[in-house]
Amino acid sequence: MTHRPRILQVNKLYYPDIGGIETVVQSIAEQTLARFDPEVIACQPRGRGERAFINGVPVTRAGSLGTCLSMPVSLSFPLLFRKAIRRADLIHLHHPFVLGELSALLLNSKRKMVLTWYSAIVRQKLLSKLFRPFLERLLDRVEAIVVIYPDAQRQTKILAQRVNKCVVIPPGIEIRDYDMDATLGDEVAKIRSRYGEDLILFAGRLVYYKGVQHLIAAMPSVRGRLLVAGDGPLRQSLLRQAAELRVSDRVTLLGRLSDQDLKAVFHACDVFVLPSTHPSEAFGMVQLEAMACRKPVVNTRLETGVPYVSLDGVTGLTVEPANPEALAGALNKLLGDEGLRRALGEGGRERVLNEFTVQVMAERIMNLYEKVLGR
């Protein structure tokens, strides 16, 4: 019987603790089951560790004391990682995850490694400076560096020195998961009935770099109603801001939604907006979900993959970051032009089909694994 290579993915968190990177890690693990034996090691956001099988993938979660500097604080992770690499033929790291990368650098002496680069460590300046020498050594050791959009390797100095190692593989989604069905149609009708027309949707964590505060600041000048799907540390301050601006009647914080409820609000909205302000927003996977649902996207002109995902004038409108006036202008333009919304929405669906399906991403990843392993 032919040996199936064992791939160990290493990331901060894993499903059901889902963000953009976690979605990519899960998709890679599940899509590569046909040709590889995937395994995942991650941390709990807080609490005791556990082992589980999720959709056929063995997952180890190290216990965590909580989060510090956006990283889980886990004393057991290095030990569990050391055990896991004994079972692996190749290690796939997802940056930034300092604890995982230090463990791979210091505890892995034999296994080949690849690393997917999503973004630099942006906000934690001291951590970034202290970690830089270790990161340099790690990047020299890995066989390949996956970047998620073109030019990422040239926009980041540490990658520009290693362009020959970089491979562009954008993330992808399962587009069929976002198709309308009868049940979803009923939920969409209820949302439209409850909240009315001219619906604007934001979906994501309520953290500093998402720029939701600038979106709420734009709302006094916007004709529509804003639905905010997600939770996070800025929730209370955003509620206060909406009250101070007297737009609480047109701004609804929905909290964290189930997958099904989130799909329903995607289909119910007229416009999706991602008002991110910092390069911590490396790609904006949530844009793909909106585009799959044929919704035009308003995003920001960051020097990351965000404006590459949704193209200005093709799948949505792109404005300068941290600019409430520009956000209001783009949103009002789309809300006032149904034909434009429809054209950009269809453009988004086509772009996802051509460039950003999970099948395309997985095939590229598996080809890279085989090349690195020398098969």
Mean pLDDT of 98-120: 93
Range name among 20-29, 126-135, 342-351, 358-367 with the lowest pLDDT average: 126-135
Q: Which of 245, 258, 121, 120 is nearest to 183 (CA)?
A: 258
Burial label, 49 (beta-carbon count in 10 A; 0-12, 13-18, 19+): middle
pLDDT band (50, 70, 90) for residue 2: low
The mean per-residue pLDDT over the stretch 77-106 comes to 95
Of 3.40.50.300, 3.40.50.170, 3.40.50.2000, 3.20.20.80, the CATH number of 175-355 is: 3.40.50.2000
* Per-residue model confidence (pLDDT) at position 326: 98
Q: Is 348 left (phi over 0), alpha (psi -120 to 50) or beta?
A: alpha
Mean pLDDT of 25-49: 95
> pLDDT tens for residues 248-276?
999 999 999 998 999 999 999 999 999 99
The reported pTM is 0.84
- Asked whether the bond before 96 is cis by omega within 30 degrees of 0, the reply is yes
131, exposed or middle or buried, with CB in 10 Å at 0-12, 13-18, 19+?
Answer: middle
Gap between the Cα atoms of 144 and 163, Å rounded: 10
**Answer CATH for 6-172+357-373 from 3.40.50.620, 3.30.420.10, 3.40.50.2000, 3.50.80.10:** 3.40.50.2000
- Percent pLDDT > 70 in the chain is 98
Question: Do the Cβ atoms of 25 and 115 come closer than 8 Å?
Answer: no
- Domain locations along the chain: 6-172+357-373, 175-355
Structure confidence at residue 342 as a pLDDT band (50, 70, 90): very high
Indicate if the pLDDT at residue 51 is higher than 50: yes
* Calpha distance 65→168 (Å, rounded): 35
CA 354 to chain centre: 19
**Angstrom distance (rounded) from CA 307 to CA 203:** 17
**pLDDT tens-digit profile of 282-309?**
899 899 999 999 999 999 999 999 999 9
Q: Rounded CA gap, 143 and 368, in Å? A: 10
Output the pLDDT for position 375.
61
- Where residue 128 falls among pLDDT bands split at 50, 70, 90? confident
Domains 6-172+357-373 and 175-355 share a fold: yes
Q: How confident is the model at residue 156 (pLDDT cuts 50, 70, 90)?
A: confident
Measure the CA–CA gap between 322 and 163, rounded to whole angstroms: 31
pLDDT score of 70 more than 90: no
pLDDT band at 1 (very low <50, low <70, confident <90, very high): very low
